[in-house]
Amino acid sequence: METVITRFPPSPTGSLHIGGARTALFNWLFARHHGGKFVLRIEDTDVARSTEESTRGIFDGMEWLGLEWDEGPYYQTQRLDIYKEYLQKLLDMGHAYYCDCSPDELDARRKEAMAEGRKPKYDGRCRDRGLGPGPNRVIRFRCPDSGTTVLNDLIKGPIFFDNAELDDLVLQRSDGIPTYNFVVVIDDVTMNITHVIRGDDHVNNTPRQILIYQALGAPLPQFGHVPMILGQDKAKLSKRHGATSVMAYKAMGFLPEALVNGLVRLGWAHGDQEIFSREELIQYFSLENIGKSPSVFNLEKLLWLNAHYIKESEPHTLVPLLKPFLEKRGYPAKPDGYVGEAVRTLQTRVHTLEEMADGMKFFLVDDVEYDPAAAKKFLTPTMQEAFDRLIPVFESMEVFNEENLEKAFHQIVVTEMGLKLGKVAQPVRVALTGGTVSPGLFEIIGVLGKETVLKRLKRALEHMKSQ
């Protein structure tokens, strides 16, 4: 088999969104699976809508997802000479011609055709007029009047298009800028693309592109059109379904592994496996296992995947990822080792890094803030005795670890005071964290360390006394 070369050609008119990222991922995986190449091309001929910021956003999104490209980025605006050369070729071969029909004329004819019940397509008026270049002239492709164009789609199977239904497509607009359907072919031909894997919103463009390949005598790549992504309500995924930009998921505290896993399952399956390492994805990926029906984006599932990857991570690897979230909250900075230990207590309990950062507050701030309801219920004067007894024992403890703490706590609360463990555990939790929900009590005591624990117990005791 020849070397597989795939491509991802986003238009830099917005950030990298879920749909685009899935297309990039499928192309990347297909290339990696076949030991081929993955090309990045920026389709920036729509100068008015393209921005450098979007281009940077696309790079950031791809880098974050780990979709490294082997060639490019190419920019279409830097390739205009190449397009000119190919346009001239098509003109010389009689496959393209200049047309000076004005937008108003075209509009009037379109309306007339519709009124007469005909399909409103360009009527070929300028085909044989032998016009040359000039102001307000476009270049059109001379589409065959008859015959059938077949798209042998790798995902959808063969699709047949009646050539008579296709318009004489504009290849170059009157402002001299070539159009998408033309440049995409020239780029794919000159970059030796072997497989075009893209969203099925492009199916109807494909016969037009195939005809251009044929006019140029260029070999066709293989095409695979991936069904679209829907929201939970079965409408096409859009902003109104929530965040659609890849970087928004980073900002919400998703790990790239989770997003990659969630994206790949939007259309592709390998039995009923849900969680894949990157190596497994590369090994298993094939176009045969892409379904024919649209897939539904499911945030719950993405959260579940993210919780899985957070839980499976080595705590210290999460620390640098977590830092921006902690900084955003203005928590005082603490040594990485300490933050890592705090991560360890929380990583089985959260779905996102945001949630983790929220849950970590009491580990980082100097003084916890009591949740008023929790303080009212648990930091009551009746708890004074227990705290009075716990404080000196903790104070004199030489090895302040989970095991010794648990033993001492049990000894005082259960054996000496004859109380149930929970009766005192919850007030201690409020004293240390400010609230009633946290990781295991002795785990957090172990991480907070002697000094902080004693300081907080003493402060809670003062609070009880002031009630």
Binding site for ligand GLU (CB under 6 A): 9-11, 43, 184, 198, 202
**Tokens 């029909």, located at residue:** 101
Task: Identify which of residues 46 and 406 has a Cβ nearer to ligand GLU in the complex.
Answer: 46
Question: Among 241, 218, 227, 350, which residue's Cα sits nearest to residue 298?
Answer: 241
Task: Identify which of residues 49 and 292 has a Cβ nearer to ligand GLU in the complex.
Answer: 49
Q: Please, what's the b/e burial string for 366-390 (b: 16 or more CB within 10 A of its CB; e: otherwise)?
A: eebebbeebbeebbeeebeebbebb
Task: Identify which of residues 43 and 257 has a Cβ nearer to ligand GLU in the complex.
Answer: 43
- Distance in Å, CB of 168 to ligand GLU, minimum: 21
Task: Name the catalytic one among 156, 234, 236, 239.
Answer: 239
- Distance in Å, CB of 441 to ligand GLU, minimum: 53
Question: Among 443, 160, 135, which residue's Cα sits nearest to residue 315?
Answer: 443
Query: How crowded is residue 141: how many other Cβ atoms within 10 Å of its Cβ?
Result: 23
Question: Among 422, 363, 428, 362, which residue's Cα sits nearest to residue 389?
Answer: 428
At 29, which amino acid appears? L
Cα atoms in the 13 Å half-sphere on the side-chain side of 386: 29
Q: 138-141 and 170-172: which strand pairing?
A: antiparallel
- Distance in Å, CB of 234 to ligand GLU, minimum: 22
Task: Identify which of residues 91 and 196 has a Cβ nearer to ligand GLU in the complex.
Answer: 196
Establish whether the linkage from the previous residue to 73 is cis, with ω within 30° of 0.
Answer: yes
Task: Identify which of residues 237 and 461 has a Cβ nearer to ligand GLU in the complex.
Answer: 237
Residue nearest to ligand GLU (CB): 198
- Distance in Å, CB of 138 to ligand GLU, minimum: 21
- Distance in Å, CB of 180 to ligand GLU, minimum: 7
Q: 148-153 and 157-162: which strand pairing?
A: antiparallel
For this structure, is 239 an active site residue?
A: yes
| Whole-angstrom Cα Rg for the chain | 32
Question: Any idea which residues carry the catalytic annotation?
Answer: 239
